Amino acid sequence: MEEILGHNTRVALYARVSTEEQREGQTIDSQVAELERFARDRGWIVTGIYKDEGWSGSALARPALDRLRDDATKNLFGAVLLNDVDRLARDVTHLGVVKRDIE
């Protein structure tokens, strides 16, 4: 994907941790920091950070994910960065819905 995106591409960052992941010491801030570094190193412009803290990946309706999907329809960014596809959804059907909405 890096080859497709040029310098100054507008990107959104999406991060999520479930309550269980929080108990295991995983933090949403570490995900965001990694994504910000990744974008900065490529000269991409972060136009939004969307964080769902304490939400399961099995739920399709999440506050930040809903905003991300809405903002995608407004063309506020050209790509979404995330640490792992399971941050978006754990269910393949839900992943298809989110992918369609973002595209």
Catalytic residues: 18
Question: What strand order describes the sheet that includes 45-53?
Answer: 45-53, 10-17, 79-81
**Which amino acid is it at 82?**
L
**Helix ranges, the chain (H):** 19-23, 28-41, 63-73, 92-102
Question: In angstroms, how far is CA 89 from the centroid of its own chain?
Answer: 10
Asked if 17 and 85 touch (Cβ cutoff 8 Å), the reply is no
